[in-house]
Amino acid sequence: MNVDPSRLKAIVFDVDGTLYRQSPLRRAMLYRLLLHAVSNPTSAIATFRALTAYRRAQEDLRDVHVEGPLAAEQLRLASEQSGQSGEVVARIVARWIDHEPLRRLERFVEPALRTLLETARRRGLRLGVFSDYPAAAKLEAMRLAEFFDVVVTAQDAAVNCFKPNPSGLVEALRQLETSPSDALYVGDRHDVDGPAAQAAGVPCVIIGQRGDTNASKGWIPVSDYRDLHAMLFSTESELGQ
């Protein structure tokens, strides 16, 4: 599915691994967890177990229809798999997934991303976010919140499912009042973001990828935001191209 910049009206972005570089953040958080383990070895074991179970529960729920709130079901599964109470898992997740990374996020945002967002807004494009995790606090921490008109997450009542289910992307486009053919979805996981976009009928770019276009699979690889900027806004000169 190709992208036609001339008819583009909106761009929806994934967050984790897309708006910031996830690998160095994970290394920084692992270092923090190891420091925690040195001073609190017993607590650290429970922390690692809970975080591993919580992430595994997300993957287990990707292709599952959930009757109740998605966040509660993920927490229930993580509690069951880790052998810890829901309260303990919730407290660990709140600290190590929701709060601790925030102070470090901004340093891992590529400068070219901000330039692309500024160009998009100047061109009159509407911008949105669809993420599998709550995103508002992360956008504030990265100092990017001002760019986005719409923020949709998997835990929203209107969505209540993880990607590759396209419901969240469909909801973001509904709020942006944009048809799929006039939009673009930017993600970092071709196995999750690509199928979600394809199911929603939205052209998809996978950032940080090189090689074949894989257009038949519903996504196009782009190495970085400089290249994406050139692809979408070739007449602009902010990046010296």
CATH number for the domain whose boundaries are 5-20+109-232: 3.40.50.1000
- pLDDT at res. 241: 40
For the chain, the domains span 5-20+109-232, 23-104
- pLDDT at res. 42: 83
- pLDDT at res. 234: 80
- Tell whether pTM > 0.85: yes
Q: Residue 204 forms beta bridges with which residues?
A: 185
pLDDT tens profile 124-148: 999 999 999 999 999 999 999 999 9
Q: Of 207, 8, 193, whose CA–CA distance to 109 is shortest?
A: 207
pLDDT tens profile 39-87: 888 888 899 999 999 999 999 999 888 999 999 999 999 999 999 999 9
C-alpha dist (Å) from residue 37 to 48, 55, 139, 206: 9, 20, 29, 35
**Does residue 12 have a pLDDT over 90?**
yes
**Does residue 236 have a pLDDT over 70?**
no
pLDDT tens profile 120-130: 999 999 999 99
**Does residue 216 have a pLDDT over 90?**
no
